[in-house]
């Protein structure tokens, strides 16, 4: 979905979280237990490699902490062990190279999933190195499409 479509359904959802430095690409809807990020470049680059500001940014990342939510067969509230098995059966692999931007995510192609144990919508200050113990419950999930062009932007 585009930012225009999301805001048409739910309102602006501006992110007031410290650490964004005014970039304005993050959004948060606490009442929906949902937060995320828009891509600055996805389907917005013109033939000269410039961002077409007329085109609305698209969602590239969402974190959901809504009870009973399920994505790709992973149910919030299930154990990390069960969630990992489900993702592995669907062909996802664990990204474990600490130098990579997506460390500690499960990935398949350019789709990344991160399992969280604290039902936080804001993962800016969390320990990204923690995998979760087998018996712990998954309380939020981040789903992201990797957009390499966004990673190359220098502010």
Reduced to 3 states (helix: H, G, I; strand: E, B; else coil), residue 50 is: coil
* Higher pLDDT among residues 6 and 67, named by residue: 6
Query: Helical H runs in the chain?
Result: 3-10, 80-89, 148-151
- Interval 129-139: pLDDT, tens: 677 888 889 98
SS3 20: coil
- Give the pLDDT confidence score for residue 21 in this predicted structure: 47
pLDDT number for residue 93: 95
Q: Give tens-digit pLDDT for 86-129.
A: 999 999 999 888 767 777 889 999 999 998 887 666 655 566 66
Question: What per-residue confidence (pLDDT) applies to 28?
Answer: 87
Domain ranges of the chain: 3-153
For the segment 11-34, what is each residue's pLDDT rounded down to a tens digit? 988 765 555 544 557 888 988 988
Instruction: Answer yes or no: are the C-beta atoms of 112 and 95 closer than 8 Å.
Output: yes
For residue 150, pLDDT beyond 90: no
């Amino acid at each position: 979905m585009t930012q225009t479509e999301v805001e048409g359904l739910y309102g602006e959802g501006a992110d007031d979280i410290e650490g964004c430095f005014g970039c304005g690409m993050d959004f948060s809807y606490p009442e929906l237990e949902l937060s995320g990020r828009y891509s600055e470049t996805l389907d917005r680059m013109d033939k000269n490699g410039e961002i077409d500001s007329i085109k609305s940014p698209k969602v590239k990342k969402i974190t959901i902490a809504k009870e009973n939510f399920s994505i790709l067969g992973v149910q919030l509230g299930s154990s990390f062990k069960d969630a990992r098995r489900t993702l592995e059966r669907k062909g996802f692999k664990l990204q474990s190279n600490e130098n990579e931007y997506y460390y500690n995510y499960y990935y398949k192609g350019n789709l990344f999933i991160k399992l969280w144990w604290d039902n936080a919508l804001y993962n800016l200050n969390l320990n990204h190195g923690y995998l979760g113990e087998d018996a712990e419950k998954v309380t939020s999930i981040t789903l992201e499409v990797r957009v390499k062009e966004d990673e190359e932007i220098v502010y």
